[in-house]
Amino acid sequence: MADTDKPTFPLDGPHSPQSVLQAAELIAEGMRYLNRATAPGAGGLETPGDVYSLLGALGDVPGRLPQLLGQIAAWLQNQSAAGKIGVDRGSVIEAVAEACMGLGDATTGAGQTRAGLDRAHQATAIMSGKEESDA
């Protein structure tokens, strides 16, 4: 895909359900790319410095998730309170509460992921590559 074909997401909008979904799909596709590019022998990592830089960039992802997940939970709660959510079975209140608990769990997990990435990032800061003759 050419650079001009890449979707753009101006932070100040306009926002729509379609652009939000597109952004989420782009994040997922980026993760898929990273999974392939960093596989052994794929060539996506050449030096410990590459790992350090990648971990630093990835640390922002779980660090931003809590805000997103909190906003989703707040939206669900507000829409529920306004009577704008229905369910196929059971109680709207229980369904929204269950979704919000799941989002809370994910927020906790994001914090743990961020802490782990920060720890690995700091550990790789002192690493450097060695030529095979240096080993």
d(CA 107, CA 78): 19
User: Amino acid letter at 111?
Assistant: G
Helices 92-124, 60-81: crossing angle, 10 deg rounding: 170
Give the model confidence (pLDDT) of 26-78 as tens digits. 999 999 999 999 999 999 999 999 999 999 999 999 999 999 999 999 999 99
Indicate if 106 and 80 belong to the same structural domain: yes
Q: Is residue 98 part of a domain?
A: yes
Question: What region, left, alpha or beta, does residue 90 occupy, with left being phi > 0 and alpha being psi -120 to 50 degrees?
Answer: left
Do 63 and 52 meet the contact criterion of CB atoms below 8 Å apart?
A: no
Domain count, the chain: 2
Residue 5 has pLDDT above 90, yes or no: no
Is the residue at 11 inside a domain? no
Contact predicate 35/97, CB 8 Å: no
Q: Are residues 76 and 28 in the same domain?
A: no
> 76: Cβ–Cβ under 8 A, 6 or more apart, which residues?
85, 96, 99, 100
Per-residue model confidence as pLDDT tens digits over 109-121: 999 999 999 999 9
1 within a domain of the structure (yes/no): no
Domain that holds residue 22: 16-45
pLDDT-based confidence at residue 130 (cuts at 50, 70, 90): confident
* Verdict on whether the full-model pTM lies above 0.75: yes
Q: Pick the more confident residue, 13 or 4.
A: 13
Whether residues 60 and 117 share a domain: the answer is yes
Confidence of residue 133 (pLDDT cuts 50, 70, 90): low
- Asked if residue 99 and residue 119 are part of one domain, the reply reads yes
Question: Would you say residue 134 lies in a domain?
Answer: no
Mean pLDDT of all residues belonging to the chain: 93
125 and 105 both lie in a single domain: yes
Are 90 and 65 part of one and the same domain? yes
